[in-house]
Structure 1
Amino acid sequence: MNAFRIARNELRRLSTGTLPKLALVALVLVPLLYASFYLYANYDPYGRLDKLPAAVFTSDTGAKDSSGHERNVGREVTDELVKSGTFQWHEVSEQEARDGVRDDKYSFAIGIPSGFSAALLSVGNFQPQQATITLTTNDANNYLSGTIAKQVAEQVRKTIAEKVGSEAADRFLVGFSTIYAKTQEAATGAAQLADGATQLKSGQQKLADGAAKLADGSSTLATGLGTLKSATADLPSQTQKLASGASQVAAGDQKVADAASVAATASSDIQGKLDSYRTQLQTDLRDAGVPEAQVQAILAKADQLRSPVDQANGKIQQANGDLAKLADGARQVSDGAAKLAAASPQLASGIAQASDGANQLRDGASQLSDGEKTAVNGTNQLADGAVKLRDGLAAGLQQIPNPDDPTRNATANTIADPVAVNANGEASAGTYGAGLAPFFISLATWIGAFVLFLILRPLSTRALTAGAAPFRVAVGGWLSSALLGIAQVVVLFGAVTWLVGIHIAHPLAAIGFAVLVSLTFTSVVHALNAFFGAVGKFLGLVLLVLQLVSAGGTFPWQTIPDALYPLHVVLPMGYAIDGFRHLFYSGATTTQLLGDIGVLLAYLVGGVLVSTLAARKRRVWTVSALKPELSL
């Protein structure tokens, strides 16, 4: 009797009659009912969080920001949460929120306390306070909803921090723009100052040159007037003598003529000198830069002072030309000479005053020239400093940031949230249900193998009594469960992919791997039942429990206690889950899969060998075999 015949006989035994057939169908559907319904129920719970009732309340009264505008950040946050639709938000009072979480009306509650805006905006007013939000949970309602709530609260906190940080950074960058604008104004003013200082320097130099010429001209004037003063110092005595002589003119025409000629000659010389002095004075005053009005005033004064000289000169000339009338006009000449003698002191005094004034003008012009030299040095320094200020402000202006609005907004957002996560997954499950699928398919396959031996006999008694080889008996007993196990995984995969909608990256390879997993698990469970009998069923449950806690189906296996590490390494379910994950999520590598396949094949072969040993052992009938102490 070969192994295939033994397996066929066992299946025929179970398919005779309606109830046995229904039992076989039920056995095939056990993994389907377990895994597919669980995966269907948990396919995408995060996509249905909008059905989860949650409460939100705000007691924030608002505050003024650094620019003086009224803000109510708590109101803004609450409105954004309600509009987001991420949960079934209910805006209620603080007391209603707390009562609702306690009474399981709301899964959790997020609250914005009073003073929230004031604390958030305090940074801009340099009075920093930390703002807080409240989170109310109740694990008595559901533990995971509390965990989700904490993640939501953290996300809200992060969003608020980014929002406020972005606004603060934006104000900071706007301040840079303001500084840039003001510095630009200062740079423009400095450029104008530099131009003005350059013009002032040029004008000041011209003024200094004019002051120097004024000093030179006033010195020449003073010298000329001094000479005139010296020349006219004896004029009063001479005119007095002239007056005395005029009285003697009558004594003789010749003496009068000679005296008149002398007087006329002297008068002409004086007149010529006065004209020369007047012309030189006018030229020197103009060259010195004296205003024209002052020049004319000085000349008018000089003309006034020399007016008597001009009158005397006329009379002398008249007397000299009219010798015929000399005798008759002797009295007039005497009177004219007397008047000339009377006016001569005034003329001499005026010339002396003009000479003294010219000396004072010379001294003042000299001081003015020295002052202008100092002013020229100062304006040179002013011009140089203005140019340096202009160049320095222009250079500094290029170093002050002046971003445009899009750049400023992007920079502010980057400052508020400087680090972004660029998720680059090697493989992605997509949904919560797809993430758990490898674990529950492996678990369902083990359970499917376990329930098969609730009605299947691990070893054929008929084959044993007929003396069939132990290996044939073992393989024949396992083949019946292997065929049913293959049917289980085929039905299970059909439901998981078509009904539940879980996408599998490598479907053919995944089905082949699932068949290997089923063959392995049926081999192990078959070996336990064959070798230990009724106790083997219990050991199958024990192994199920041990693999549940050590296989790493939900949390990473590295997070289990250290004492369970050996179980993860030794037991087969962890390798089944690992292989399913790589094939489901397109992350498979040949090395990884070969390792998982190698372990499963080892268990499969090991199970057959143990079953063979059990068949060899069962060839000898014992009392315990005929009448076992425990029967399941």
Structure 2
Amino acid sequence: MSSVRIALNELRRLTAGKLPKLAMLALVLVPLLYASFYLYANYDPYGRLNKLPAAVVSADIGATDSEGTQRNIGREVTDELVGSGTFQWHEVSAEEAQNGVRDDKYSFAITIPREFSTALLSTGNFQPQQATITLTTNDANNYLSGTIADQVAEQVRATIAEKVGSEAADRFLVGFSTIYGKIEEASRGATQLADGAGQLVSGQQQLADGASQLSTGSTQLSTGLNTLRDSTKELPSKSKQLADGASQVAAGNAKVASAAQVAAGASTDLQNSLDNANGQLAQALRNGGLSEEEVQHALSVLGQLRKPVDDANAKIQQANSDLSRLADGARQVSEGAAQLAASAPTLVDGIGKAADGAQQLVDGSSKLATGEQDALKGSTQLRDGANQLRDGLGAGLKEIPNPDDPTRQATANTIADPVAVNSVGVASAGTYGAGLAPFFIALATWIGAFVLFLLLRPLSTRALTAGASPVRVAVGGWLASALLGIAQVIVLFGAVTWLVGIHVAHPLGAIGFAILVSLSFTAIVHALNALFGAVGKFLGLVLLVLQLVSAGGTFPWQTIPDALYPLHIVLPMGYAIDGFRHLLYSGASLQILGDIGVLVAYLVGALAVSAYAASKRRMWTVSQLKPELSL
């Protein structure tokens, strides 16, 4: 007989009847059932994180920034989180968040502390503080929830850091703009200083021109007087006739000498004013921030500019001395007026020229005084411009930050990393393997219960035939699997803790709970086999698949499709996983009582179903005597 013929005969045997055909179809569909449900449940868990409840606590009281504006960055962050829709955010109090994470009401919580804004805005005052947000997780709820929460907290931290860094850079650039404005004001002051200096030079030039004109007038006066002298040389015999004229000349010369003295006095006052201006200018330049070398250089340049004025003053003084001597000579001439009487017309003409020269001397003195006033005005503007330059530069200097080295380094570090995440775990798994241990322990316990009934008979045919009580038959059929199941979980926990190295927070409680899970699972599989026979084994496999996709063993159960929510609530494996998480990580809490209650209810209910199946099996049928499908 060929191999193909053997295979065909076996398939023909397995499909001889309606139930075997359905069994073959079920065997073909098992991989599809597993893959389709699993892919359906885990198609896009990250796209359903908005179903995952999370708490946010905003205790920030706000702070005032460097521009005097009241800010509450904690409130801004909270509003952005709640409005983002990335999770099912709930803004609650700190106590509600702590209790909610502990009791699995919230997957995690983010807390923004009281001084959050104060810390973030501290760099603007060069008192750097690193802000902190607190992330509270509980691996007893779901290990991957904590991992997701870590990523969320990091994204929040990065977003805040980017926002605060951008604002710090903006304040930095605004500071530069302020400094620019102050320096611009100082520049305008410097321009006015230069204009004042130019006017000072112009005034000094006018002063030099006036002095020059005064010198020219003095020369003309000298020429006229020389003419007078030459005309009177040959008139010694006519002095009597010239007595009156000589007296008038003497009087005119005295007036001229007096005018010259006034001009000389004015010139002397101008020199004193310029000397005082030198000292005031030097002090103003020092107050403006110029060095002593720059001040002396400026005074040297000013000295060169006023040299023509000094030269003019020397000539004015000399002219005054000459005119004084001239007045004395005129007096002597008056005494010899008798000798000049015959030359009176010539003498009158000379006196007229002397008078014209004296008038020019007066005009020059007037211009000299005007030039002095212009120079004084220019010096005043120079002083005002220097003061404005000083004030502008001083104000700009105050706007430039000048922290010490430690403050500058701390500020730079805080701007670069303004927010820290403080992770607080209500319960921590520690490792990825420990995080998934509750899921795999629960899965292994179900598989252990499933394989037991590949060998064990759910109900004793002998006891049923003997008319034993259905309850005793049901309990007796389950008790053997229960004992083997207990042995399975004890061996399992030994391997998990000693060989794999998974730390168990409460070993005795965890083992006791694992025994309860095994008793419940073996009772459920026992009931399926007792009630449905060979089909019950297939149903046990289907039930395993449904629990795998709905129990929330890996991703939080809230991320599964809404259609699978009822399965999570009804089927027992989710409660087994939840109980293992609490016992492996944080110890028993009031929440675990609900898990225990559900598993006990399943245990009692499954035994009741097994008793019902035993009661039905007491009436023998043809299908029982000769079943279509036997495994």
Q: AA paired with 1:302?
A: L
CA distance in 1 between counterparts of 2:346 and 2:329 reads: 6
Change (3 A) 1:401 1:505: farther
Q: Does 1:293 align with 2:271?
A: no
Q: What residue in structure 2 maps to residue 351 of structure 1?
A: 354
Question: How much is the aligned-residue C-alpha RMSD, in angstroms?
Answer: 5.3
CA distance in 1 between counterparts of 2:526 and 2:628 reads: 20
Q: AA paired with 2:320?
A: L
Q: Say whether the 8 Å CA contact 1:531–1:614 is kept in structure 2.
A: yes
CA distance in 2 between counterparts of 1:192 and 1:364 reads: 30
Q: AA paired with 2:323?
A: A
How far did residue 520 of structure 1 move? 0.5
How far did residue 611 of structure 1 move? 1.2
Unaligned 5+ runs, structure 1: 1-154, 247-258, 317-332
Q: Does 1:553 align with 2:553?
A: yes
How far did residue 606 of structure 1 move? 0.6
Q: Does 1:596 align with 2:572?
A: no
How far did residue 348 of structure 1 move? 1.0
Q: Does 1:631 align with 2:630?
A: yes
Q: Say whether the 8 Å CA contact 2:523–2:603 is kept in structure 1.
A: yes
How far did residue 531 of structure 1 move? 2.0
Q: What residue in structure 1 maps to residue 258 of structure 2?
A: 280
Q: What residue in structure 2 maps to residue 364 of structure 1?
A: 367
CA distance in 1 between counterparts of 2:237 and 2:351 reads: 20
Task: For residues 323-351 of structure 1, give each alpha carbon's deviation from its aligned partner in whole angstroms, at most 9, with x where no partner exists.
Answer: xxxxxxxxxx8xx5478658725641442
**Higher mean C-alpha displacement, 542-551 vs 616-625:** 616-625
Q: Say whether the 8 Å CA contact 1:176–1:402 is kept in structure 2.
A: no
CA distance in 2 between counterparts of 1:382 and 1:266 reads: 53
SS at match of 1:503: coil
How far did residue 612 of structure 1 move? 1.2
CA distance in 2 between counterparts of 1:583 and 1:530 reads: 33
Q: What residue in structure 2 maps to residue 487 of structure 1?
A: 487
Q: Say whether the 8 Å CA contact 2:526–2:610 is kept in structure 1.
A: yes
How far did residue 390 of structure 1 move? 4.5
CA distance in 1 between counterparts of 2:512 and 2:458 reads: 25
CA distance in 2 between counterparts of 1:273 and 1:392 reads: 60
Q: What residue in structure 1 maps to residue 470 of structure 2?
A: 470
CA distance in 1 between counterparts of 2:587 and 2:487 reads: 27
* Aligned pairs (5 A) from 1:518-597: 518-586=518-586, 589-591=589-591, 593-597=592-596
Matched residues, percent identical?
Answer: 56
Task: For residues 531-589 of structure 1, give each alpha carbon's deviation from its aligned partner in whole angstroms, at most 9, with x where no partner exists.
Answer: 22233222222222222222222233333344333322221112211222232232864
Change (3 A) 1:419 1:296: closer
Q: What residue in structure 2 maps to residue 606 of structure 1?
A: 605
* Aligned pairs (5 A) from 1:207-226: none
Q: AA paired with 2:516?
A: L
* Aligned pairs (5 A) from 1:377-388: 387=387
Change (3 A) 1:350 1:175: same
Q: Say whether the 8 Å CA contact 2:496–2:502 is kept in structure 1.
A: yes
Q: Does 1:501 align with 2:501?
A: yes
Q: Say whether the 8 Å CA contact 2:506–2:583 is kept in structure 1.
A: yes
Task: For residues 393-414 of structure 1, give each alpha carbon's deviation from its aligned partner in whole angstroms, at most 9, with x where no partner exists.
Answer: 5445444555666666666676
Q: Say whether the 8 Å CA contact 1:170–1:408 is kept in structure 2.
A: no
How far did residue 313 of structure 1 move? 4.8
CA distance in 1 between counterparts of 2:258 and 2:319 reads: 12
Q: Say whether the 8 Å CA contact 2:478–2:522 is kept in structure 1.
A: yes
Q: AA paired with 2:316?
A: V
Task: For residues 108-135 of structure 1, give each alpha carbon's deviation from its aligned partner in whole angstroms, at most 9, with x where no partner exists.
Answer: xxxxxxxxxxxxxxxxxxxxxxxxxxxx
CA distance in 1 between counterparts of 2:468 and 2:365 reads: 151
Q: AA paired with 2:357?
A: A
* Aligned pairs (5 A) from 1:320-339: 336-337=339-340
Q: What residue in structure 1 maps to residue 111 of structure 2?
A: none
Q: Say whether the 8 Å CA contact 1:442–1:576 is kept in structure 2.
A: yes
Q: AA paired with 1:356?
A: Q
CA distance in 1 between counterparts of 2:458 and 2:177 reads: 89
Change (3 A) 1:509 1:379: farther
Q: What residue in structure 2 maps to residue 126 of structure 1?
A: none
Change (3 A) 1:293 1:182: same
**Higher mean C-alpha displacement, 345-354 vs 507-516:** 345-354
CA distance in 2 between counterparts of 1:245 and 1:391 reads: 76
SS at match of 1:486: helix
Q: AA paired with 1:295?
A: I
Q: What residue in structure 2 maps to residue 435 of structure 1?
A: 435
CA distance in 2 between counterparts of 1:243 and 1:382 reads: 62
**Higher mean C-alpha displacement, 613-622 vs 495-504:** 613-622
Change (3 A) 1:299 1:342: farther
**Higher mean C-alpha displacement, 551-560 vs 337-346:** 337-346
Q: Say whether the 8 Å CA contact 2:460–2:473 is kept in structure 1.
A: yes
* Aligned pairs (5 A) from 1:153-172: none
Count the aligned residue pairs: 414
Q: Say whether the 8 Å CA contact 2:509–2:583 is kept in structure 1.
A: yes
Change (3 A) 1:401 1:598: farther
TM-score (norm 2): 0.53
Q: What residue in structure 2 maps to residue 254 of structure 1?
A: none
TM-score (norm 1): 0.52
* Aligned pairs (5 A) from 1:87-166: none
CA distance in 1 between counterparts of 2:236 and 2:382 reads: 67
SS at match of 2:586: coil
Q: AA paired with 1:548?
A: L
Q: What residue in structure 1 maps to residue 286 of structure 2?
A: none
Q: Say whether the 8 Å CA contact 1:264–1:313 is kept in structure 2.
A: yes
Q: AA paired with 2:607?
A: V
Q: What residue in structure 2 maps to residue 105 of structure 1?
A: none
Q: AA paired with 2:612?
A: L
Larger Rg: 1
CA distance in 1 between counterparts of 2:453 and 2:434 reads: 30
Q: AA paired with 2:347?
A: S
Unaligned 5+ runs, structure 2: 1-153, 269-311
How far did residue 436 of structure 1 move? 1.7
Q: Say whether the 8 Å CA contact 1:465–1:619 is kept in structure 2.
A: yes
